[in-house]
Structure 1
Amino acid sequence: MESAGKNTNQLDVRGNQLISASHWGIFHPIVQDGRVVDVQPFEKDSAPSKNLKKLVKLQTSSNRILHPYVRKEYLEKGPASSEKRGKDEWIQVTWDEALDLVASEIKRIYKNFGPAAMFGRSYGWKSSGLVHSAHTLQQRLLNLCGGFVECANSYSTGAIATILPYVTGSSELKSTAWPNILKHSERIVFWGCDPLVTGDIDWIAPLHRAQKYLDQLKSSSIKTYSINPVRPETSKFLENDWIAPKPGTDTALMLALMHELIAAGMANKSFLDKYTFGFDALKNYILCSTDGVEKNAEWAEKETGIQASVIRNLAQDLATHRTMLMIGWGPQRARYGEQFPWMAYALACVLGQIGLPGGGIGSNYHYSDGGVPVRKGKQPRGISSKVAPVWPYKKPGEFSQKIPVASFVDCFLNPGKVIDFNGKKVKYPEVKMVMWTGGNPFSHQPETNRLKKAWSIPETVVVSDHVWSATARHADLVLPASTTLERNDIVGIGTYTNDGIVAMHKAVEAPGEAKSDYEIYTLLAEKLGLKEAFTEGLDEAGWIRKIYNDTLAPNKKIGVELPAFEEFWTQGYVLYPEDPEEGEYVAFADFINSPEGTPLKTESGKFQLFSPTIDSFGYEDCRGYPMYFRPEELRAAENEFFLVSLKASDRLHGQLHNLDATFDGPKVSEKVRINREDGEKLGLQSGEKVELSNSRGIVVATVELSDDVAIGVVAVCHGGMFFPIANKDVGGCSNTLVKDVPTSSLSRGNVASYGTVKVRKVLYSKRQNLMLIP
């Protein structure tokens, strides 16, 4: 088979060390006899991730996909034979055979149904590289074919990214710099976030520069709080005050804090009058004139489980000190998730310290070195997916071509259904074919059994991945992809910090017949007669050079001189110069200093504590001002608990998880953390197996009794491997138990923590293999 690209620009590594990058950081692969035997962290990484060492297992993982495969039933009967999807035998085929099958099906779908029938958006964390960005390459190819069903929003920030433009005028807000905070803050509240865990990763590649500021914070006189139903690692590290409200009641606590400030005459009236719009509507709600319920500390104690005296003391402490609220994204991945960030901004406005050094609010301190001073430079841009169609655009149909990403299951199940979404009506298309790459929806989509049902509806499912994820196991055709270690690439450093550019040197050959993402889609483009338009005449090396060289002029314009490509590739990285002014950056300072000269990009030009636009939508689940909605599922029995799903510290969602899995399933059982007192009442001990169950499914997990989980709560890290055996998920995927409902009609974001589960001790015997993998 002809290779993708002519390799006329082969990249020679002339430096002393190989270098590459991942979501966990930059590293040097150590190679012996054609295998990566170790990785050494980048010498300029402030706090290298412990997960880097796991990259060594990628090349030889027992869970690698080594060849192209087709499901037996699909190979024999063709499209629409989905009855055995997820439990069929796999037949190894050649690359030519696999690509011919995929190309033939793409042609059939576009000819007979048009782009409205192709779900090709994909979603997931893929790899860090810009050339082998799997989503981008697939979308580029499908756009050349005429388009596909696009998606709005993300699983990370579905609710917050939708609500904040109404409240602040922007969905992505730069945070006050850490050096400024350490100089001026007196109180910091980590609300629903855990920087020590989630700060380990970056969408591109981190240098973990935030760690030194956490170290300085620990040794400072600044008092900190962590508000979370599960005590964060950051809280343990800082040895701070841990406040544990019941899951889903954070906004009730915020309302009570504001009530206390209003009642005590400590609400910052001058700030509210000058910089906010609509506070009176929220104030009436707080003081009970709207619904007859006074949102005071006693009311909040019943809702949150936090003592009224603690609430009063907290309100007093925050108001009498320079306070920074650091809010996370976890609480907005819940039913009514828009209310959490909106209410948090309302609380910050009542405190009235936004725009002051060390005061205010920020929503990205927990991720990708948020708050670290930004360096001076222009980041590289990858291959564009936005290309004009080459094929004629046929049968567009009556549908909305962009649906909320977390609603794709509902779309598969209910074609033609019309939903509310951010003030508009969206009509679902009828999806006939799914192409998924660089992600694993069976890890991140709520209510996995509902997903499994929906997944059986499309006529063809094609998955490209490097491991047998649950998504790959539920495909019709599987294409084996290489990993970061097995190809050349290039990527920027630091999503928020703009640290520089790093080369990603190929360290070893890919195992089996795995190919790079760029080669896979180039070969598929060739089968479709689209190779020239897809590649623009460039191979892997050509794109790497182009991406780097395209950054030279923009950087020169701002006074940053970059080395020639050959020097960069040999050195392996370039770091941008530091900007001394960035260390004193204060969020919203320009607006506070000149509200008329630099207004916010909102309806009023101010912080919107009431939104006439949202109010006009008439949504019952997201109204014109932030509100408290009581959780829909409450504890009804002693063995029933609130479920909280956390990010694991030892993986990124499903990535780096179960690398030692076999075709019989995962080797390690997922843990469920249970409060020690609750566990003793149920007669449980650490290490015992339990079933967590509700109407949505059953998950088998291993008990870990802990004092770091609130009473009445169980915690399971998300990203567990969905592996159903006899209707029980033995892989411990927390989403098996989470209800697939939108955050609200506004953003329709995904829900990651929802409702209750029953806990039952079980005797767990050796399971039979019901999922046949080659």
Structure 2
Amino acid sequence: MTKKMDRRSFLKVGGAAAGVAVATVSATAIPLVGDSILQDGVDGVSASHFGAVKTKVRNGRFESVEAFEGDSYPSTLIQGLPARTYAQDRILYPCVREGYLKHGYKSDKSKRGSDKYVRVSWEKAFDLIADELKRVYKSYGPDAVFGGSYGWFCVGSLNNPQALVGRMLGVAGGYTSRTLTYSTHAIRAITPYVTGGDESSNQQTAYPNLIANSECIVFWSSDPINTNQIAWGVPDHQSYEYMKQLKAEAKKRNIKFYCIDPVYNNTAMYFGAEHIKVRPTTDVAMMLGMAHYLYSENLYSKEFVEKYTSGFAEFKAYLLGEGEDKVIKTPEWAAKICGVEASVIKMLAKEFASKRTMLMGGWGFQRAHHGEQPHWMLITLASMLGQIGLAGGGFGCAYHYSDGGVPAPAAATGNPLSDVKMGNGSQGAAASADAPAASPGLTGISVNSKVDGPWKQRKIPVIPVSRIVECLENPGREILFDGKKLTYPDLKMAYWAGGNPFHHHQDRNRMIKAWQKFETFVVNECFWTATARMADIVLPATTEQERNDITKSHTNSYIFAMKKAVEPVGEAMDDFDIFVNILRRFSAAEVLAFTEGKSKMEWIKSFYDESYNKAKKSGVAMPAFDEFWEKGFVKFETPEAAKNFIKYKTFRDNPVTNRLGTPSGKIEIFSKKIAGYGYKECKGHPTWFEPMEWLGSSVAKEFPLNLVSPHPKYRLHSQLNNTWLRDLEEVQGREPIWMHPKDAAKRGIQNGDVVRIFNKRGQVLGGAVVTEAVMEGVVRMQEGAWYDPKEPGKIGSLCVHGDVNVLIADVPTSELAQGNQATALVEIEKFKGEIPAIGIFKAPVMKGM
């Protein structure tokens, strides 16, 4: 066991960086110069992806939370914050995999996941990382280091792990990053071609306008009651008040609700929506059937199509069977594919055309093979209905998120907090996981090139975020992506911070094998996740309530002070300080480039002051920083005009002066640019492509159940799965899997049974929930359960807890987005024998301890 080091509060960086206070290695962290910590018994404001909170500290422990006063509909998820702070799987001190400590980058990579860990000092860990970075840079160059860390941990503007790891690596020597997101990979790639913008994050028609004008609302692959609990920023849950008003108004005006989804979800239950059971990944075929009926019955808006869209003629030829496939896309044709009766398809088309209809498209159906097509086709269908830009009508693809439809406040706007610019290069889309395009004036931490250095000229190459495994398997391969050609770099080292790739990536067993290509894998983490257990070097990071920071609400209605509530558990250290200490092994110039000569509190104040100055110029009142920090938040009021915002109204009013950002300036039903790419799996107009696995494929003969993997109810992806919240729905300690009664009966499965779910990619255990809320032939298992292999590190081992991504294929959506999938075909059987114990939520045994 390594001896504890002497306590030191901080070191001064020499030379040009003198005066910058940074944390140093210490067995028990103590406040830095300029840091503040709440006094025992004093409530403080903090924030998370689940909402803002008041922290309750008693006897030096973070005991409980209360919802923030401005959150009228707080999520249950905030109650997991104290529990995760003191979770049994908390990483307490720096650790190195035993084989790596002995042999370094030449160690046996197949031992990842099964090797024991050895506790080391912070000094030792920093030395190992800095030396390895220098070796890789010298031997292979900057592109060999992958710093495209992806994940949701931390809402803070300063201690944003993804931003900081990119900043540190960019200063140290360079790195390869990533672009797009697992949540919105396909929609973010396709909609700029169709409407000229990112439809996953732009402003939606405001809820008050829907409440007053909509006659029909369609939740298509969308479950906002569930997904609005969380946000990339801080949710303030205003959308729930509007949804409550919408439900009340529906009774007065007989607003019709439809849920088009394989599952009768939380939102459908709340609104009492009529359930249209569509087979997974067949929504495009259903929409084509509706489009054909609208055209053939002359129910479509010819005026809107001619005035506001481009390329309808090419799409019409495909619709009428005049294209390459010679198939007429009638409702009858669609019914055979999607499982919805032709009469229902016709009824829906007729009703949507006759009523003021809002099509709320979620993100679920774009996480599938050919996931670029559903939103393109949804926008095409909305164009044919002709209600885009009208009160209460059109389409929206971001109601799925916590600010979708919430009127925007009168706040100064700026760049995302996490945007990290490196001289002439930039992470660009890679800067954040799912960050929206604007914030109330809080800009991101950035390198302003205040000292000379090679990082000034360094550009950062990127790969599509979900292609990391394929990249490891095929260094040097050239791929098509978004109209360009990319060459996969030969990656030798990865540094992950604030993310959990062994949750969010698909085909776990393939991933484990590919991960052996890394010579070194470093992770900053708070908990012993599956990712941490695969790392060579593990550094313990602080949680959001163990450090000071600043952030905003996702609706832009608030700026929050995140006040340090308690001292870090064990030797946990802020990500900012971790990276400063690594850079200290390079030179004072690198440290200065990273810190810009500012302490952490000075950074926090600078974020606020920049927002303050922008607000002042805009005539928006904000208190000075000290007053803000004392109170804990600033609120921005919403003007009445924002409550009647209508998406694309200005475009409809004048499409000449308010052109869209497409080549034609219109909605592009046919894209000449995409057609010009010559892609096999993404044509110039929305198209039905048969998915690699669906209920109509040959694979269904062996694996006849179509698995869908929506967002969970009691966690954010994998976050909070290591708290008592999992007890609210797990079945015998396993992730629940919903099955239709007929499917369960065929297999002799009863409610509450532990079952084995499997296909050729892997196998997991789950807990059966027999319910008619899921359509026959479909099973539902939420993403985010922690991967817990019965034999750690062994490829093909049974996951005893229920990580659904063990089962899902890692095959790109198409050449355009190169995105990820979230569905698969599986078989299920009742588990026989002794049920294995869950082991993932306890820290691994340390070597010699």
TM-score by length of 2: 0.88
| Mapping for residues 34-113 of structure 1, pairs under 5 Å | 34-81=60-107, 82-113=109-140
Q: C-alpha distance in 2, partners of 1:124/1:526?
A: 26
**Structure 2 residue matching 1:376: 3-state secondary structure:** coil
Residue in structure 1 matched with residue 640 of structure 2 by the alignment: 580
1:9 and 2:73 equivalent? no
Q: C-alpha displacement at 1:351, in angstroms?
A: 0.2
Asked if the contact 1:3/1:519 (under 8 Å) is kept, the reply is no
2:306 aligned to 262, 273, 289, which one?
273
Match of 1:361 in 2: 395
Provide the rounded CA distance (Å) in 2 between the counterparts of 1:596 and 1:307: 41
CA distances 1:153-175 after superposition (whole Å, capped 9, x unpaired): 11111110111110000114221
Given that 1:115 and 1:147 are in contact with CA atoms closer than 8 Å, whether structure 2 keeps it comes out as yes
CA contact (8 A) 1:118 1:149 kept: yes
CA contact (8 A) 2:651 2:660 kept: yes
Corresponding letter in the other structure for 2:126: L
1:640 partnered with 2:672: no
Matched length: 767
Match of 1:292 in 2: 326
Match of 1:553?
613
1:11-410 equivalences in 2 (<5 Å): 11=36, 17-81=43-107, 82-171=109-198, 172-219=201-248, 220=250, 221-290=254-323, 291-378=325-412, 379-385=440-446, 392=454, 401-410=461-470
**1:362 is matched by which residue type in structure 2?**
G
Compared with structure 1, are the counterparts of its residues 180 and 723 closer, same or farther at alpha carbon in structure 2 (3 Å cutoff)?
A: same
Would you say the 8 A contact 2:467–2:818 is kept in 1? Answer: yes
User: Does the aligned pair in 2 maintain the 1:166–1:608 contact within 8 Å?
Assistant: yes
* Contact 1:699 1:729 (C-alpha < 8 Å) held by counterparts: yes
Kindly state the Cα deviation for residue 667 of structure 1 after the two structures are TM-superposed.
Answer: 8.7
Change (3 A) 1:125 1:423: same
Secondary structure of 2:350 counterpart: helix
Change in Cα spacing, 1:341 to 1:513, as seen in structure 2 (3 Å) is same
Contact 1:114 1:395 in 2 (8 A): no
Question: 2:98 is aligned with what amino acid?
Answer: K
Q: Secondary structure of the equivalent of 1:181?
A: helix
| Displacement after TM superposition at 1:639 (Å) | 6.4
1:30, distance to aligned residue in structure 2 (A): 0.8
Kindly report which structure 2 residues correspond to 1:565-576, keeping only aligned pairs within 5 A, or say none: 565-576=625-636
* Contact kept? 1:45, 1:207, Cα under 8 Å: yes
- 8 Å CA contact 1:175, 1:362 repeated in 2: yes
User: SS state of the match for residue 29, structure 1?
Assistant: strand
Residue deviations 1:653-697, cap 9 Å, x none? 0000123699xxx99211111111211121111111111111111
Offset at 1:487? 0.8
Deviation at 1:580, TM superposition (A): 1.2
| Aligned equivalent of 1:736, options 806, 815, 836 | 806
How much has 1:2 moved relative to structure 2?
Answer: 5.7
Cα shift at 1:110: 1.3
Question: Could you tell me which amino acid in structure 1 is paired with residue 10 of structure 2?
Answer: S
Q: Which residue of 1 aligns with 2:666?
A: 606
- Alpha-carbon distance in structure 1 between the residues aligned to 2:103 and 2:149: 26
Corresponding letter in the other structure for 1:659: T
Name the aligned partner's letter for residue 62 of structure 1.
Q
**Deviation by residue 1:380-419 (Cα, 9 ceiling, x = unmatched):** 43543556597647999xx992111111111111100110
Paired residues of 1:130 and 1:383 also in contact (CA < 8 A):
yes
Which letter maps to 1:692? I
Q: 1:51/1:590 Cα in 2 relative to 1: closer, same or farther (>3 Å)?
A: same
Aligned to 1:674: 739
Is 1:693 the counterpart of 2:758? The answer is yes
Tell me the residue number matched to 1:427. Answer: 487
Are residues 400 and 667 of structure 1, via their aligned partners in 2, closer, same or farther at CA, if it must alter by over 3 Å? Answer: farther
1:713-764 deviations in Å (ceiling 9; x for gaps): 01110011112224111121111100001111001111122x3001111124
The answer on whether the counterparts of 1:400 and 1:429 sit within 8 Å (CA) in structure 2 is: no
Match of 2:518 among 450, 455, 458: 458
| Partner-residue secondary structure (3-state), 1:19 | strand
1:16 deviates by: 6.2
| Candidates 829, 837, 840, aligned match of 1:760 | 829
Q: Identify unmatched segments of 5+ residues in structure 2.
A: 1-7, 12-20, 23-31, 413-439, 792-796
Distance 1:323 1:173 in 2: 19
* Aligned 8 A contact 1:98 1:477 in 2: yes
Q: Could you say what secondary structure the match of 1:470 adopts?
A: coil
The verdict on how the C-alpha distance between 1:773 and 1:621 changes in structure 2, with shifts beyond 3 A counting, is farther
Shift of 1:536: 1.6
Report if aligned partners of 2:42, 2:56 keep a CA contact under 8 Å in 1.
Answer: no
C-alpha change, 1:34 and 1:400, in structure 2 (3 Å) is closer
Specify the code of the residue in structure 1 equivalent to 2:558: G
Q: CA deviation at 1:769?
A: 9.1
Could you tell me which amino acid in structure 1 is paired with residue 832 of structure 2? L
Corresponding letter in the other structure for 1:762: F
Give the match for residue 655 of structure 2: 595
Residue aligned with 1:357, SS: coil
* 2:705–2:777 Cα contact (<8 Å) kept: yes
In 1, the alpha carbon distance for the partners of 2:273 and 2:183 equals 27
Structure 1 CA distance, aligned partners of 2:269 and 2:283?
21
Letter in 2 for 1:757: V
Give 3-state SS (helix, strand or coil) of 1:294's partner. coil
Contact 2:703–2:759 (Cα < 8 Å) also in 1: no
Name the CA distance, whole Å, in 1 between partners of 2:628 and 2:456: 45
Stretch moving more, 338-347 or 630-639? 630-639
Deviation string 1:492-524 (CA, Å, 9 cap, x unpaired) is 112xx2102001111111111111111211212
Task: Kindly indicate whether the alpha-carbon contact (under 8 Å) linking 1:110 and 1:145 is maintained by their aligned counterparts in 2.
Answer: no
Contact 2:734 2:767 in 1 (8 A): yes
Matched, 1:513 2:520: no
SS in structure 2 of the partner of residue 469 of structure 1: coil
Deviations 1:47-99 (A, max 9, x none): 10011111110221001000100000000111131131111000001111111
The one-character-per-residue Cα deviations of 1:155-198 (angstroms, maximum 9, x if unpaired) are 11111011111000011422111101111110010100100110
| Structure 1, 375-384 or 55-64: larger mean CA deviation | 375-384
Confirm or deny: 8 A CA contact 1:137 1:385 kept in the other structure.
Answer: no
Give, as a single letter, the amino acid of the residue that structure 2 aligns with 1:36: F
